[in-house]
Structure formats: structure tokens, C-alpha cells
Amino acid sequence: MNAKKIKRFFLRIYAFIKKYDIGYLIVSLLLGFIMWAFLSNGQDPIVTRTVNVPVTFLHESELLKQESRVMLTDNATVSIEVSTRKSRSASVSSDMFECTADIMTHQGALLSEQLVHVSVNQKDNSGIILNWEFEKGDPYVTVALDDYITKTFPVLVMTENTISGGLKLQGDITFSPDTVDLSGPSSAFGNIASVYAVVDLSQLTGGELSNEIPLTIFDANGKEIKTPAAITMDHSTSTMHALVLNQQAVKVLCDGTVGTPAEGYRLESITVDPDYISVKGLKDVVSSFTEIVIPSNLINISGVEGSQQYTIDISSYIPEGVTIVSGSKEVTVSVVMEKWVQRTIEIPIEEISIENPNELYSYEIFASLKIKVRGFEDVLDALSTASFKAYIDVENLEPGNQNQALVHLSNISGVTVDNPESLFVRVLITEQEPSETPTEEPTEEPTEPATDEEPTESESEN
């Protein structure tokens, strides 16, 4: 039925009432109202819209205090069906209602499935809401609860990188407080295994340090994990206590030796082990401490044969406030002695010269000379047979083949010749026969008679 037909219907009724004049006024008003209501409902009908209203839970602190439990659900809602005019349906929102639930009224066998009754209050009175009701019967929400626990963890130390050169960490790094309490739902502790304070050693400086270090949670595999939102720490940092000293290497030297070693020995080398020690201490003291010199009077080599070792306590040479990093206060001084070696040297005949010869004699040395010498290897290696400048003095020797001449040798530094007084060579001395020198007779050259001029032709004819 359209509007024209409705109008025509009511006009017929009006004509009838006017004709018979029955309750004209009352019927007219009633019919007019019915017509208005019908036309209005057709133009702006009543519609239904569903809104999800968040639930505010009450007495959560009482739940924690009385039952040591916390609520895990934080986004519970209830659905409300709202009746309103179509033209005003866009204005309907969840803000027009207030839903609250007293968590202390929870009920259920499982903590993960607790029912809590919801109270709903309509806050909007503007007339937009014609009616409302719950979408699904009674207003209950399901929430999950969990036991609230506290665990105490020791604050462990984890270091990364290396300490800067010239610095030495003295002792252990400690923290205060050295424990931390983690609190929250028991289910949130699943991956938590330990709590560390991570110290970057490369950032440490010298001196007594007290730095605040953040605390970090790690799982059982040693991997860092983000602190769960439900977990709280009673403190998020701990104070690191560390003593960092300046460190440097100090040279250890020996000033030499005293005394004379046994005959046939000389000092070849002297070494110190260790020849460097690492020390630590306050910067102003350590920076000026660069070497330790062991006095020579502590290394006495009088009569020493072969190598010797001397253990020296160096603690008395270390300034106050400086300590040895290695912990040892002794060094070993090793003295190596070199022993003479003996060699046989043969001086050839041609390198034995003859001094003070008689010009009437001839001299012949029968054989080369072998001598035994002692000395240190480097000295003997530098020798040559010519170095000895060997010679014999024949001034007082007579002709014959049984002459024994003493060979004289030059003194060479660092070389000792065994039995130099018994170094003889056999010399053959013979007299030289005088040689006759023939006299030359003067020779005359033939002479021709000298003529002053050639004969003339006339003279020759005569």
C-alpha cells in the first residue's frame, strides 16, 4: 500500500464522518496521529547496532594482596545490542556505556578460565539509545589468572671486548646489590635463566671505579632476552666496583760482574730471565719506573769454571705502591763462560825467516814447524801462520847438518803457545866455495894508415 492509497482511504473515512457527524473531532485527531506515526516510521525506521564495550576490572590490587594472583587478561569486552533510529545510528558508540567487573568475584575450576560478572551502566541520556540488551544472555566475561611469584637471582658478571693497553684489572669485578628480585606471573618466568651485568672492558679507565651497569636477562642458552612486560625488577641497575691499575713493562738489566774467572775461561755472555717484568700501580708512580738494574757485586765470577746461574730477589728495587703483575719477585741471571780451545798450527818453511846469516854460508831448514796454541775460538779463527812472524837466529851456528835452531815467535794477544822454549828446527849450514872470476885481456882493434888526401891523377901515373 502506497501513500496515495492511504490518503484516499482516510479521505473516504473523513467524508463518511462528515456526512454522519459521528465523533468527528476525536476520530480526526486519532486518524491524524496514526497517519503521522505511520509516515514517520516509514521514513526513519528503528535499527539495531552492536557495540563492544571494554570491561574495567575492579580490585586487582586486592587480588594480588589477598590471593597472590594477577590477571593475565587485559582486553575483555562485552557485546551490547543497541536499538536506535537509523538517522542516529552513527552516533552510537561504546563510550555510551560503562562496564565494570569485580575480579574478586571470579569463579571457576581452572585459573586460566575464570568467570567474572559484568555490571553495565548506560551513561548517555540524550535519547539516541531507544533500548539495549546483551547480545548473549548473562553479562559474564572469561579471564585468565596466574600465581604471582618473586624469584631472587644473583647478579652475574659478563665481560666483552678487552681492556685498553697499559691498564690491568686488579682482582674481581663486584656488584652491589649483588642480587635482584624479579616478580610477576609464574608463566612469565619460562625462559628466564639468569641475570647479568654486561661490562665493556674497553670503556674502563684507571683508578677505583664505581659505575652503574644495566641488568640484562638471559635464557638457558645464554642469549639475551627482552624483559617480559609482566615482569618487574626491584632495581634495573647495579653498581660495579672495580680497581683498574696502570700497567707497563719494566726492563731488567745486570750491571755486570765482579771477580776473575778460572784460567782458561772468560765471560762470554750474561742474560737475565725474565728480562722484562710487568708491573702495575698508580699512574704517577708507574710512569717513572722504567728499569731495574741488578748491581754487579751480586754476580761474582771469581774462579768460576763453566756457566753459572744466580737467583736474584728484585723486590727491593720496586717502588712502594707498585706490584709485579706476574707475582714473581725473582729473576735468574745466567753467566755463560767460554773455555780456551787448543789447536795445532803448522808454519811452513818459507814463512820462517833467517836472522843474522853469514854470507859465507848457505842455510837450509829441513822441515816446517808444528806448534800447539791455546786461545778463545774467535781469536784463533782470526790467526794466520804469518801472524807469528817466525824466525831463527843463526849467528852462532857452525856449518853442518846437525844444527838445531830455536824458532822465535811474536807474542799475539789472547794466544798462548805451548812450550815455546822447545820449538826447534834442523838447519843445514854449508860453506860456500869461492868462485874464480876470469880476467879479460885487452883487445886491439886493427888500424889503417891514415891519409890526409887522395893522390891526384898525375901522381898516380908517376
Q: Which of left, alpha, beta for 447 (phi over 0: left; psi -120 to 50: alpha)?
A: beta
CATH number for the domain running over 255-339: 2.170.120.40
Q: Which amino acid is at 304?
A: V
Question: What is the SS3 assignment for 210?
Answer: strand
Grid cell digits, residue 425 = 828446527
Helix H or strand E encompassing 14: helix 3-20
Domain formed by 341-431, architecture:
Beta Complex (2.170)
- Indicate the residue type of 185: P
Over residues 395-428, the pLDDT tens digits come to 988 898 888 999 999 998 889 899 989 999 999 9
Cα four-point dihedral sign 34, 37, 39, 42: negative
The string of pLDDT tens digits covering residues 124-159 is 888 899 999 886 667 899 999 999 999 999 999 999
Report the candidate in 412, 414, 392 with the shortest Cα–Cα distance to residue 403.
392
Q: Which CATH superfamily is domain 152-246 in?
A: YbbR-like domain (2.170.120.40)
Q: Cα(350)–Cα(364) distance, rounded to whole angstroms?
A: 10
Cell 556505556 identifies what position?
97
Residues paired with 167 in a beta bridge: 246
SS3 assignment, position 380: helix
**pLDDT score for 456:** 42
Give CA angle at 261 (260, 265), nearest 5°.
130
Q: Where are the domains of the chain?
A: 3-43, 46-143, 152-246, 255-339, 341-431
In the Cβ-directed half-sphere of 171, how many Cα atoms lie within 13 Å? 10
Mean pLDDT per 10-residue section of the chain, whose length is 462 residues: 64 67 60 60 82 94 93 89 92 93 93 92 90 80 94 95 83 94 93 94 86 94 88 95 86 93 90 89 81 93 91 90 79 92 91 92 90 90 90 91 90 89 91 64 51 43 38
CA-closest candidate to residue 402, choices 429, 422, 421 = 429
Query: Which residues on neighbouring strands pair with residue 214, listed in sequence order?
Result: 237
CA 324 to each of CA 137, 279, 293, 320, 329: distance values in angstroms, whole numbers, following the listed order:
83, 4, 16, 11, 7
All cell numbers assigned to 167:
691498564
Measured distance CA(443)–CA(428) in Å, rounded: 45
Fold matches, 152-246 and 255-339: yes
CB 301 within 8 A of CB 309: no
The secondary element (H helix, E strand) that includes residue 146 is: strand 145-160
